[in-house]
Amino acid sequence: MLSYVARRLLFVLLTLLLSSLVIFGVTQLLPGDVATMILGRFATPEALARLRGELGLDRPLYVQYWDWLWRFVKGDWGTSLATGTAIQPWVMERLRNSAMLAGVGLVMSVPLAVVLGVVAAMKRDSWLDHVISVFSLALVGLPEFVTGLVFIGVLALGLKWLPASSAIEPDAGFFDALPKLILPGLTITLVMLAYVARMTRSGTIEVLKTDYIRTAYLKGLPAHEVILNHVLRNALLPTVTIIAISIGWLIGGLIVTESVFGYPGLGRLLLYSIQHRDLPLLQAVSMLVVAIYSLANLLADVVYAYLNPRIRLS
Amino acid sequence: MSDREQLGEPIYPGQNGRLSRRALIKGLMMLGLSAGTASALAACVQPTAPAAPTAAGASGPAATTPASAATAGAAKKGGTLRRGWQPPTQLDPALQATSTEIAACAQMYDWLVWIDEKNQPSKALAESWGSNKEGTQWTFALRQGVTFHSGKALTAEDVVFTFNRLRDKSIGAATASLYENIKDVKAVDGKNVQFVLAKANPELPADLGDYHAAIVASDTKDFKTTYNGTGPFILEKFSPEDRATFKRNPNYWLSDLPYLDGIQDIYSPQQSAQVEALRGGQLDVVMGLGAELAETLKKEGKTTILQGRPNMHFALHMRSDRKPGSDPKVRQALKAATDRSAILKAARLGYGVAGRDTPISPVFGDYYLDVPEPKRDVAKARQLLKEAGYDSLNIQLTAQNSFDVPKIAVVWKEQLAEAGVNVDIKVVPPDVYYQDDGWLQVDFGITEWALRATPQPYLQLAYKTGAKWNESHFSDAELDQLADQAASELDRAKRAELYKQIQQIFIDRGPIIVPYFETTIAATNPKVKGLVVHADFPRSTMRSVFIEG
């Protein structure tokens, strides 16, 4: 098991190194010029040249890359071109916010999705199964900016149950922020729901067909014991993997949801850095998001291996 | 109804559809009455209104020390005002470019001369000023006892430092060319600053009130991390993708002000999301609203809708150095076929003031030539075209896809069709419109022009022969001469006369159609009081704003 994890970890490091090359390369290809962005369309050429020199943008690319990567590894993520302030604490604050939202999203979506998936599998091909499948698929087809705005319109502006904007205070604790996390959490839930529920359903159906489940029923175990002790443990294996992988998306990829609700997370920070050509910020956030995705995949692999002896012992 | 009367319409919605006292006072003041007379008249109309203190004082930025005393009775102290803006890029005052940046700097800094909400220069950090006979040497006397947020006292050195930085070409500030005429800035003593000019400039005070010219402390090293102004609010925290947090400056030089404990500028890219947050009570103020959003909010009736004075204008330019625009008859024909008020109504839902085909709006006060809006006359348009040798005419109009420009283009096309002119509209993204000076090449184009403090920049930048942004390639010897004369005429009354002659030239043979000047729309929570929307709306100060109950 340990050597398995070590091997996977090595792959993660390799992924990160390759990603750093790609991220650095792509940020060089972004249209537009940082100096023009900062100084405006009518700046003099002298001023632009001076600023490019100050930002080190006139050095050869490989020097810029190596300098950036080395300082990034050491934990010096540089300063934002926009504000001149250190990037790391800023990004870390957004990471904390993103983690809070991801946590709320998971807590809201996973239990519901698993229950729906199991119910659909148990009542396979019944009207209930069809209703669950059609609804969850229809909902996953709706983009987040639609569901988000509907939630805002109905639950926030109409019924006034929850705040319309999720712009939490910078120093808000989890429980202060919680009311503002529910609407974006619901929006995430709709996306996650179909995904996780369908995975659970097909996993459960597979297991229900096996001989050991038939045996369990034949030896007279009550249905709830069969489900809890024998079906779920085996059926949820693929579901757990899916959930672990989606953590990467939940923390680093919620650009649309965060923008709709004005939530200060990593996704919106990434969007800002692209729109405002803040390259150091863009590079730092992208690296962090890649790292989160890689670690989420690693987590999925490890959890899968832990639950599945065939992998763990091979 | 003249423009001035239009502006006197209830800017603040009054109860039961009646003019509110404050709106009335504001309207009367705009008619040129003094504050005292206006408030007395208002009292006559609404005898139940309390006689004192006068609400006129709330019209903020122009009013200095006495005004604060006037509003103190009604205003409530404390509270945090949450405003919605789009994310900024940075907050160095010399490099301000977007509304968000201007709106933040307007709270942190003060200006030597403040361009007030009526677009007129008024006293701020300078208490008085004057020039020599020739208008080439100006001296500004500083207000005493003003301190920066750091505690440092304001001296003449800070002013010299500020303007030398703004004049430095290597900084990249847009002011480098605006202040090219300044030969030297020096501190006469701790209190007096002298500007020595290459040639006379009667409008120097207005030029020094440019929004970039926020007075900064001379010991500032890094303008990206230090925001040390003398303004009513102090920046506490700044995350450009999330929010900026400001707290009250307890040592502000206008005693009693500001009323608020703090401001939060909350950033989100979509104005619709800001409006949702306003409706949901998570924002208190959204400024610079689109007309449709404003109408929706107005119908809902739960927010206060405020309007500023005429701000930017849209110039539909007709290139005058080649056919067909080179013939003044063609230009006049196109003007005659245009119904400006109809465009204003269709494209901006009436939130604006119809133009007179000059860049000068009523907000320029005594410089404005107050003539009625030209009546649409399709028969005259056809006649003029015939005289110019056209039975019908095909033209291409390049319209950038921003603001309400495409709507203006479509309505104009319909109007011109009735006069036998076929307008082919080409809609392009704004960056394409301005890219490689494309906008300076096209025969017909619609360009947005920001509000300036005096008419002179428009003439110097866009209408004098060979001017840098002369998009219409207009050349008129008489206009050139009058513009230069106005640029150096020290007597304000004579200058106003010159500007009026210039506007007549625009009307008679000028190269632009100005359908309208738009007025800025702001929406606020009804509890927000004392907000006066500046003609250049992001510059609206929050120092006189308070939150009721």
pLDDT in tens, A289-313: 999 989 888 888 888 888 777 766 6
Q: Distance between CA atoms of B528 and A23, rounded to whole angstroms?
A: 46
Q: Distance between CA atoms of B320 and B315, rounded to whole angstroms?
A: 14
In terms of CA atoms, which chain B residue is nearest residue A263? B242
User: Do A164 and B280 count as a contact with CB atoms less than 8 A apart?
Assistant: yes
Residues in chain B within 8 Å Cβ distance of A165: 266, 268, 273, 276-277, 280, 282-283
Q: What integer pLDDT is reported at residue B32 of this predicted model?
A: 35
Test the B interface: residue of A165, A273, A279, A285 with most B CBs within 10 Å: A165
Question: For residue B460, which amino acid is it?
Answer: Q
pLDDT higher than 70, residue B59: no
Rg over CA atoms, chain A: 24
pLDDT higher than 90, residue B443: yes
Q: Is residue A25 part of a domain?
A: no
pTM, two decimal places: 0.78
Confidence of residue B422 (pLDDT cuts 50, 70, 90): very high
Taking residues B351-380, report their average pLDDT: 94
Of B277, B307, B310, nearest to B289 by C-alpha is: B307
Which residue in A42, A50, A272 is closest to B240 by CB distance? A272
Taking residues A42-52, report their average pLDDT: 75
Residues in chain A within 8 Å Cβ distance of B279: 157, 164
In terms of CA atoms, which chain A residue is nearest residue B169? A47
User: Do A84 and B169 count as a contact with CB atoms less than 8 A apart?
Assistant: no
Q: Is residue A58 part of a domain?
A: no
Q: Is residue A96 part of a domain?
A: yes
Question: For residue A62, which amino acid is it?
Answer: Y
Q: Is residue A77 part of a domain?
A: no
Taking residues B524-547, report their average pLDDT: 93
B268 touching chain A per CB within 8 A: yes
pLDDT higher than 60, residue B45: no
Question: The domain containing residue A274 runs over which residues?
Answer: 87-313
Taking residues B457-465, report their average pLDDT: 92
Taking only the tens place, the pLDDT of each residue in B125-152 is 999 999 998 889 999 999 999 999 999 9
Residues in chain B within 8 Å Cβ distance of A273: 241
User: Do A84 and B222 count as a contact with CB atoms less than 8 A apart?
Assistant: yes
pLDDT higher than 60, residue B8: no
Contact (CB, 8 A) for A181 and A169: no
User: Do B269 and A40 count as a contact with CB atoms less than 8 A apart?
Assistant: no
Question: For residue B121, which amino acid is it?
Answer: P
Taking only the tens place, the pLDDT of each residue in B115-130 is 988 888 999 999 999 9
Alpha-helical (H) ranges within B359-476 are: 378-387, 405-417, 430-434, 456-458
Q: Identify the sign of the CA torsion B306, B312, B313, B314.
A: negative
Confidence of residue A217 (pLDDT cuts 50, 70, 90): confident
Test the A interface: residue of B210, B242, B433 with most A CBs within 10 Å: B242
Contact (CB, 8 A) for B305 and B298: yes
Q: How buried is A125 (Cβ within 10 angstroms: 0-12 exposed, 13-18 middle, 19+ buried)?
A: exposed
Q: What integer pLDDT is reported at residue B193 of this predicted model?
A: 95
**Phi, psi dihedrals of residue B167, rounded to the nearest 5°:** -85, -15
Taking only the tens place, the pLDDT of each residue in A229-278 is 888 888 888 888 888 888 888 998 888 899 888 899 999 999 888 888 78
To the nearest whole Å, the CA of A40 is away from the closest chain B CA by 7
Contact (CB, 8 A) for B121 and B115: yes
Q: What integer pLDDT is reported at residue A41 of this predicted model?
A: 61
Q: What integer pLDDT is reported at residue A31 of this predicted model?
A: 64
Which helix (H) or strand (E) is B272 found in, with range?
helix B271-279
A46 touching chain B per CB within 8 A: yes
Number of domains in chain A: 1
To the nearest whole Å, the CA of B13 is away from the closest chain A CA by 23
Could you give the 3-state DSSP secondary structure of residue B181? coil
Confidence of residue A42 (pLDDT cuts 50, 70, 90): low
Supply B549's token pair.
Answer: 């109950």
pLDDT, chain B, mean: 84
Taking only the tens place, the pLDDT of each residue in B177-205 is 889 899 999 999 989 999 999 999 999 99
Contact (CB, 8 A) for B179 and B166: yes
Of B179, B209, B173, nearest to B195 by C-alpha is: B179
Supply A28's token pair.
Answer: 């060089």
Contact (CB, 8 A) for A257 and A205: no
**B21-30 and B35-45 helices cross at what angle (nearest 10)?**
140
pLDDT higher than 70, residue B58: no
To the nearest whole Å, the CA of A36 is away from the closest chain B CA by 10
A5 touching chain B per CB within 8 A: no
Taking residues B318-345, report their average pLDDT: 95
Test the A interface: residue of B80, B89, B223 with most A CBs within 10 Å: B89
Q: Distance between CA atoms of B506 and B479, rounded to whole angstroms?
A: 9
Residues in chain A within 8 Å Cβ distance of B170: 44, 46-47, 50
Taking only the tens place, the pLDDT of each residue in B16-27 is 223 333 333 333
Residues in chain A within 8 Å Cβ distance of B269: 259, 271, 275
User: Do A152 and B280 count as a contact with CB atoms less than 8 A apart?
Assistant: yes
Taking only the tens place, the pLDDT of each residue in B367-386 is 999 999 999 999 999 999 99
Could you give the 3-state DSSP secondary structure of residue B266? strand
Residues whose CB falls within 8 Å of the CB of residue B480, separated by 6 or more in sequence, listed in order: B464, B465
pLDDT higher than 80, residue A207: yes
Q: What integer pLDDT is reported at residue B49 of this predicted model?
A: 31
Supply B82's token pair.
Answer: 């949450």
Residues 225-284 of A with CB under 8 A from B: 259-260, 262, 264, 268-269, 271-273, 275-276
To the nearest whole Å, the CA of A52 is away from the closest chain B CA by 12
Using DSSP bridges, classify how beta strands B512-513 and B304-318 pair: parallel, antiparallel or unpaired.
antiparallel
Residues in chain B within 8 Å Cβ distance of A272: 87, 240-241
Higher pLDDT, B58 or B241: B241
Q: Is residue A47 part of a domain?
A: no
Q: Is residue A12 part of a domain?
A: no
Taking residues A5-9, report their average pLDDT: 86
Residues whose CB falls within 8 Å of the CB of residue A63, separated by 6 or more in sequence, listed in order: none
Residues 205-224 of B with CB under 8 A from A: 222, 224
Contact (CB, 8 A) for B80 and B548: no
User: Do B174 and A85 count as a contact with CB atoms less than 8 A apart?
Assistant: no
In percent, the amount of chain A with pLDDT more than 70 equals 95
Residues in chain A within 8 Å Cβ distance of B237: 170
B240 touching chain A per CB within 8 A: yes
> In angstroms, how far is CA B258 from the centroid of its own chain?
23
For residues A171-190, one letter each, b for 16 or more C-beta atoms within 10 angstroms of the residue's C-beta and e for the rest, the string is eeeeeebeebbbbbbbbbbb
Taking residues A217-232, report their average pLDDT: 85
Supply B129's token pair.
Answer: 């000023």
Asked if the peptide bond before residue B53 counts as cis, ω within 30 degrees of 0, the response is yes
In percent, the amount of chain B with pLDDT more than 70 equals 87
Q: What is the DSSP letter of B530?
A: S
Which residue in B88, B172, B266 is closest to A43 by CB distance? B172
Supply A244's token pair.
Answer: 């672990």
Q: Is residue A299 part of a domain?
A: yes
Confidence of residue B324 (pLDDT cuts 50, 70, 90): very high
Taking residues B45-72, report their average pLDDT: 35
Higher pLDDT, A157 or B518: B518
Q: Is residue A104 part of a domain?
A: yes
Q: How many CB pairs under 8 A join A and B?
A: 112
B90 touching chain A per CB within 8 A: yes
Residue A204 sits in a domain whose CATH number is: 1.10.3720.10
pLDDT higher than 70, residue B227: yes
